[in-house]
Amino acid sequence: MSRIDKKFRELKKEGKRAFIAYITAGDPSLAVTKKIVLSLEGSGVDIIELGIPFSDPIADGPTIQAASHRALAGGVTLKKIFSMMAGLRKTTRIPIAFMTYYNPVLKYGVERFVKSCKLNGVDGVIIPDLPYEEAKDLIRCAKRGGVATIFLAAPTSTIKRTRDIVKNSTGFIYYVSLTGVTGVRSKLPSEVASKVKAIKSMTRKPVAVGFGISRSGQARDMARISDGVIVGSAIVKIIADNQRDVKALISKVSNFAKNISRAIHAA
């Protein structure tokens, strides 16, 4: 059983939902990324979604795009991120999933990528621009390597397509709460609850909601209807605003995460 599966099972026994936090690897540096991961773990985050910086993202809004640009400008590569992960695994067992695009994976080599994930303690992969129909090689290698393949269901997904997404997903199903890209939203669509309920009627696999969630109230509401809540852009913005003061950066990210964690775990 993977770390992701164990975490969801553990939380379910406690009657809690998962807090999944997204950050961009290498923003502002890989050394600081390690500190942020450990700080988030200590602040109540259950699972880390670690973004692999890419030059041409299609699912990310301006905040995360800017973070990827900063990381790439700083010389971050997939190989260096795997090296960082190896170091992280000496001090933490928190479940970590990579969120990336298919181009870096394809260039690195699908089989090699999955082997590197397994070797360096990456528990799952999320690739927004790789539909399950085109992911046979990844699914095959990941299944053999014990790495979760987490696919995205959207408000526009048909019932048939959603069933196929559920079938091919392991770890959890990522429900995108709105059409468009990542980013802070003041209000989330009213149909999220019914959409999540429909997905949950198809499977016993966990369903986590992401995109647009930035406030404790939103996180609490999403936790009440799902198995996990993903918060990204709001955390990345705090990192962006405190690039020059790592101590303040860690403190502010930690305080924000603690507030979101309380809201999710008390829902």
Place of tokens 């933490």: 92
**134 assigned to active site:** no
| Number of Cβ within a 10 Å radius of residue 215 | 17
Catalytic residue among 5, 27, 49, 123: 49
- Which residues lie closer than 8 Å to 133 by C-beta, 6 or more apart? none
User: Who's near 39: CB < 8 A, 6+ residues apart?
Assistant: 250, 253, 254, 257
Q: Is 191 a catalytic residue?
A: no
Q: Tokens standing for 236?
A: 């990345």
**94 Cα distance to chain centroid:** 13
Give, to the nearest 10 degrees, the angle between helix 30-42 and helix 78-88.
40
Q: Is 189 exposed, middle or buried (0-12, 13-18, 19+ CB in 10 A)?
A: middle
Catalytic residue among 41, 46, 60, 227: 60
Question: In terms of Cα–Cα distance, which of 112, 175, 178, 99 is closest to 145?
Answer: 112
Task: Return phi, psi of residue 176, to 5°.
Answer: -80, 115
Contacts of 106 (CB under 8 A, 6+ apart): none
List active site positions: 49, 60
